Structure 1
Amino acid sequence: MEQEKIGKFIATLRKEKNMTQMELANRIQVSDRTISKWERGRGLPELSLLVPLCEVLEISVNELLSGERLSKEVYQEHLEENILNTIEYSEKKIKRNVRGYQLVLGVILVIIVGIGMMFGIDIHRMRNNEPVVFSTWGYSYVPPIDLHEEYIDIAIKEYILDQEEKSDEKWFTAFRTYLIEEKQRHQKYILYCVVVEESYSYEEEVILESASIIPYQFIVEVIDEEYTVTSARHPRDGSLYTEDMKVLFPSYVHEEIDQMFVDGTVPRLQLEIQEQVKLYYHTFQ
Structure 2
Amino acid sequence: MSSVPHRFSARRFPQALAAQALDEALASGGDTPVLAISGLQGSGKSTLAAQVVELAQARGLRAAALSIDDVYLTRAERQRLAGRVHPLLATRGPPGTHDLPLALATLDAARGGRPFALPRFDKLADERVAQAQWQQVQRLDLLVFEGWFLGTPPETDDALRAPLNALERDADADGTWRRWCNQALADGYPALWQRCDRLWFLQPPGFSVVPNWRWQQEQALQQAAPGRTGMNRAQVERFVQFYERVSRQALRCLPGIADRSIALDAQRRVL
TM-score (norm 2): 0.28
Between structures 1 and 2, the one with greater helix share: 1
Structure showing greater radius of gyration is 1
TM-score (norm 1): 0.27
Between structures 1 and 2, the one with greater strand share: 1
